[in-house]
C-alpha cells in the first residue's frame, strides 16, 4: 500500500512549517488535519511559543524524531468548530493546547488526572496518533484536538504572552505544588533564568515563597531581582556566594537543560530539602550520593502536568497576572529564532504570530 502524502491523510487542509531532516531547518509545509469528530474541538491557531524541546526534536537530538516534523506545543487560538458531543467549548472561545493531545483514559494515571504520566500519552507533535498518523504541532494555522486536552484561556490573559504557560508554566507550577514548595515563607531556589526559570520565579512569588535565582550569568542579577521580583541572586561559579548560602533552601527547581554539576546545588539545600529537575540535558548528570545521605535530601523529576492541573495553573496565572516575557516573531523568522535561542539570546520566550500574513 502506498503511503499517503501528509496533505492527503485527512480532510482538513493545513499549512505550517516543518523540519525535514537533522539540520533542524524549518520550511513551509502543506499537510492535513482530521475532520472534527464528535468530541473534538477545532481552532484557528493565533500564537505558538517556541520551546527548547522544539529545537531538540527538530534536530533529532533525543533520537526519537520522525520527519517531517511540525513542532510547537504552546498553542493558543480561537475555536472555529466543535463536535456534537463537546460540552465545555463553543465557537469563538479562546483556547490552548499544550504538550499532549491523547492518553488511554483508563490507567491509574488517567484516573488520577495525571494524563502526562499515562504510558500511552500522545504528544502534540512527532508522536503516533490513535489512527496511526503522526501528530503535527502548533507551527501551523489549524489545530484539531480532543476536548479533554483543550485548555480554556481566561479573557484577561493575553494570548501571545500566555501561550508559553502551556508548557513552561505547567512544567514549573506542577513541581512547586506536588513537592510542597508552595507554602508561604518557604525559601526556594530556581536554577537557570531562561524560558522555564523566569516563569518559575513568577509562580513561586505569587505563592508567597521567598525565591533565590541561581545562575552562571552575573549580568542577570538586575533582571532577576528588579524585574522578576526574586529576593536574592547567586552566581553559581562564585564559591564565596555559594558557601554563604549553604543550607538555606527548602527546595530547588532546576530548569537547566545543559549538563551541569549537582554537588553545588545539594549544598544549598537544608536537611530534607528537595532538588527537582525539569530541564532535560542530553547526557546523564553525575549524582554524588554522600550529600544526599548526609542530609536526607531528595532528587526528583517532574514532567508538565495533567489537564486538570494545567487548567488550574492557567486560572492561577490569570488571577495573579502571570505571563511569560515574550518576543513575538513572524513565522518566517523561526529559524533565526532557533539559532538565537541556542545562544540564550531571548528574553525569555519566542512566540510565533502564526496568524500574521507574511510579506511576499
Residue 360: predicted pLDDT: 43
Cis previous bond, 274, omega within 30:
no
Average pLDDT of span 226-246: 96
Query: Sign of the CA dihedral 50, 195, 154, 126?
Result: positive
pLDDT digits over 138-187, tens only? 999 999 999 999 999 999 999 999 999 999 999 999 999 999 999 999 99
Bridge partners for 140 per DSSP = 16
Q: Mean of the pLDDT values across residues 82-110?
A: 98
Is pTM beyond 0.85? Reply is yes
DSSP 158: -
User: Residue range 66-82: average pLDDT?
Assistant: 98
- Report whether the peptide linkage leading into residue 159 is cis, meaning its omega lies within 30 degrees of zero: no
Rounded mean pLDDT, 346-357? 92
pLDDT for residue 132 is more than 60: yes
**Of 280 and 101, which is predicted with more confidence?**
101
Omega before residue 68 within 30° of 0, cis: yes
Residue-averaged pLDDT of the chain: 95
Amino acid at each position: 500500500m502506498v503511503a499517503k502524502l501528509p496533505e492527503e491523510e485527512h480532510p482538513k487542509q493545513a499549512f505550517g512549517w516543518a523540519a525535514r531532516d537533522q539540520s533542524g531547518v524549518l520550511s513551509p509545509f502543506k499537510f492535513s488535519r482530521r475532520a472534527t469528530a464528535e468530541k473534538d474541538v477545532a481552532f484557528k491557531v493565533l500564537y505558538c511559543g517556541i520551546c527548547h524541546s522544539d529545537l531538540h526534536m527538530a534536530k533529532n537530538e533525543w533520537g526519537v524524531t520522525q520527519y517531517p516534523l511540525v513542532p510547537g506545543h504552546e498553542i493558543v487560538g480561537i475555536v472555529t468548530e466543535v463536535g456534537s458531543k463537546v460540552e465545555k467549548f463553543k465557537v469563538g472561545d479562546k483556547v490552548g493546547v499544550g504538550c499532549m493531545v491523547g492518553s488511554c483514559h483508563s490507567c491509574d494515571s488517567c484516573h488520577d488526572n495525571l494524563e502526562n504520566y499515562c504510558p500511552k500519552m500522545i504528544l502534540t507533535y512527532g508522536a503516533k496518533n490513535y489512527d496511526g498518523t503522526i501528530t503535527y504541532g502548533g507551527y501551523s494555522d489549524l489545530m484539531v484536538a480532543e476536548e479533554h486536552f483543550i485548555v480554556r484561556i481566561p479573557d484577561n490573559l493575553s494570548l501571545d504572552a500566555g501561550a508559553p504557560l502551556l508548557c513552561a508554566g505547567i512544567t514549573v507550577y506542577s513541581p512547586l505544588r506536588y513537592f510542597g514548595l508552595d507554602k508561604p515563607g518557604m525559601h526556594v531556589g530556581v536554577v537557570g533564568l531562561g524560558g522555564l526559570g523566569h516563569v518559575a520565579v513568577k509562580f513561586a512569588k505569587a505563592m508567597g515563597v521567598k525565591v533565590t535565582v541561581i545562575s552562571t550569568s552575573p549580568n542577570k542579577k538586575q533582571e532577576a531581582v528588579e524585574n522578576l521580583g526574586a529576593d536574592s541572586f547567586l552566581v553559581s561559579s562564585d564559591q564565596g556566594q555559594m558557601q554563604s548560602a549553604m543550607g538555606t533552601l527548602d527546595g530547588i527547581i532546576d530548569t537547566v537543560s545543559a549538563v551541569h554539576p549537582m554537588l553545588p546545588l545539594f549544598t544549598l539545600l537544608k536537611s530534607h530539602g528537595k532538588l527537582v529537575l525539569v530541564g532535560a540535558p542530553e547526557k546523564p548528570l553525575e549524582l554524588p550520593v554522600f550529600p544526599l545521605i548526609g542530609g536526607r535530601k531528595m532528587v526528583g523529576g517532574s514532567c508538565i502536568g495533567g489537564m486538570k492541573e494545567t487548567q488550574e495553573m492557567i486560572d492561577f496565572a490569570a488571577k495573579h497576572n502571570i505571563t511569560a516575557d515574550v518576543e513575538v516573531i513572524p513565522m518566517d523568522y523561526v529559524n533565526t529564532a532557533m539559532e538565537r535561542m541556542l545562544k540564550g539570546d531571548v528574553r525569555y520566550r519566542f512566540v510565533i504570530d502564526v496568524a500574521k500574513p507574511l510579506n511576499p
